[in-house]
Amino acid sequence: MDDAALATAVVAWIAGDPDPDTRAELQELLNAGAWDELRTRMTPPLVFGTAGLRGAVGAGQARMNRATVIRTTRGVADFLANQSGARSLPVVVGRDARTSSEAFANDACAVLAAAKLPVRYFAEPVPTPLVAYTARALEASAAIVVTASHNPRADNGYKLYLHDAVQLTAPYDEAVERAIERVGPAASVPRVELATHGAVPAPWRSEIEALDVNTWFERYLSEVLASLGPRPALPLRIAYTPVHGVGWRFARRALECAGYADVRVVPEQAEPDGAFPTTPFPNPEEPATLELALEFAAAEQADVLIANDPDADRVAVAVPTPSGRWQRLSGNQVGALLADARIPLTPPGAPPSARALALTSIVSSPLIEAIARARGARFERTLTGFKWLWTAALALERAGEGRFAFACEEALGYALTPLVRDKDGISAAVALADLAARCRAQGQNLLDRLHALAAEFGVWASAQHNVAVSGRPVAEAVSGVLDRAASTPPSVLGARRVLAVRDYRRVPADQPRWLGAAPLVELELQGGRILLRPSGTEPKLKFYVDLRAELAQATTAGAVERTLEHEATALARELVEKLGLA
């Protein structure tokens, strides 16, 4: 887009933006002739990705702002209007505690109500899994959650669930995108003006109804805790952080109801604060994010540290070692522990429909698959994202191929019950507390349980390596790298032979849609694998390496895992060089 066309697009966006602040922001850039900055604000427009819309808050169609939310919601409303039961079934709306989330959620409610769709909304910040649970319980036609989850403080996002309470997937995503494209300027989209937490105008009261947070969370707790099964009711000291998100109020109540009275929160991070003052990047996967919490856990002499991300759909864990040092567990390690605890043994001769159903994303550790198959479970891998994990789970259940037991992805996401068709950091926190309490009663901790799994299944270690992609258009550069990896892979990496290559961009016609074409290449190694895929949010390629080794006697799983992690990182770097990315 040249400068003249860009200027025309910017002027049109300004004219259609109902928010004076973002209008002024864009106009100032236009007046200054800041063409490079304007291009990043306008191109490409935000589209639904792995977990909905997500981007930096600011002016322009490539940013999260009121105009983007209004147009998106109108497109969603137009899509829903053509679905069966849309006028009688509600749309559930929730939000996290980011500074822009309340305004965005209010706009979503206002647009839906003006489109004559019944709206049920949470006026207070709530965990994303509570919205997903409520949508399923109400048999909603859709649900919207305004959240950027664990993204940096400057971002916000917009998750969309459809009638099955599962996040938007193909082919519906294309239909929704087309409906959004047909929406005119945001300023012309009808809205019911709602005062924040105030009375709804009389003509619309039957269309808009606030949901009581406590009532719905207690209902969630009753069903979820029952679904998790009996618990040990053993003493456990838990250190906890919500990383300035919504989790403390809800995790505290969940752990209390589960019998854990000694839960101590990191005081500086206890209350929701969208500015995230103690961490610039509120992602528990990032080592620096949990530094304050680890210091707190050590000072409190806790048995375990549990952390939720800002919208409480992910959970991270750390435990003390015998030396007193605290060790963070990876998402794959937590996944293996929960799989071990949650996947029941299928009795010999049981019909397929009675088998436990376990699922992971493609990039999650093969150890979880090994655990599932050892229990006789029906196991399935899917593309990245819980929208695909739950799409597969529901389809396989309908086909009589098992009953849902467990799903996870390595990025700290876990689903333990069929009551929430998404990842759920609250129920996972309770399940991890249960597991930690059982281990403590036996004089052990979670590291000991991981050692036992390593003795049974071998030591699996995982490493990630990211490489920025620059120069040519990102899509073209990524495609070229994947082409080289698929067509001319190295025959050896380090001391491991490359045994086979799978290009997920080219899939059989009969492949299930949760394993459809995706920009992903897998190299099968002797005793491991490497997967390559582009990031869904940044201009970079992600390399996932998983390696396996047997656990020798008188050797700790941790020592073997550290050796494998070093090797995995070296293999990733070697592959980067051989693909011409160094």
Write out 414-474 in H/E/C secondary structure. Answer: EECCCCCCCCCHHHHHHHHHHHHHHHHHCCCCHHHHHHHHHHHHCEEEEEEEEEECCCCCH
By C-alpha distance, which of 173, 162, 174, 171 is closest to 89?
Answer: 162
Low-confidence ranges of the chain (pLDDT < 50): 197
**pLDDT value, residue 155:** 95
Residues found in the chain:
582
**Per-residue pLDDT, 428:** 98
Amino acid 468: pLDDT? 84
Report, in this order, helix, strand and coil percent for the chain, each rounded to 5. 40, 20, 40
Distance CA(46)–CA(64), nearest Å, equals 8
Q: How many CA atoms lie within 13 A of 43 on its CB side?
A: 14
What's the pLDDT tens digit per position in 478-498? 888 999 999 999 999 999 999
What is residue 471's predicted lDDT score, i.e. its pLDDT? 60
Which overall architecture, per CATH, does domain 217-330+425-451 show? 3-Layer(aba) Sandwich (3.40)
The per-residue pLDDT for 161 is 97
How far apart CA 331 and CA 572 sit, in angstroms, is 19
Catalytic residue among 149, 330, 364, 365: 149
Is 314 exposed, middle or buried (CB count within 10 Å of its CB: 0-12, 13-18, 19+)?
buried
CATH number, span 3-211: 3.40.120.10
d(CA 303, CA 433): 10
Q: Answer whether 0.85 is exceeded by the pTM.
A: yes
**pLDDT tens, position by position, 268-314:** 999 999 999 999 889 999 889 999 999 999 999 999 999 999 999 99
**Contact residues for 368 (Cβ-Cβ < 8 A; gap 6+):** 332, 335, 336, 339, 358, 360, 408
pLDDT in the model for residue 552: 85
Neighbours of 535 (CB within 10 A): 15
- Residue 474, classified by CB atoms within 10 Å of its CB into exposed (0-12), middle (13-18) or buried (19+), is middle
CA quadruple 247, 248, 250, 254: dihedral, nearest 10: 120
Cα–Cα–Cα angle for 384, 389, 391, nearest 5°?
Answer: 120
Is residue 149 part of the annotated active site? The answer reads yes
CATH of domain 458-578: 3.30.310
3-state secondary structure of 346: coil
Q: Could you give the CA distance from residue 517 to residue 482 in angstroms, rounded to a whole number?
A: 13
Give the C-alpha separation, 443 to 434, whole Å: 14
Q: What is the pLDDT of residue 199?
A: 59
Predicted confidence at residue 84, as pLDDT, reads: 75
Q: What does DSSP say about strands 263-265 and 238-241: parallel, antiparallel, or unpaired?
A: parallel
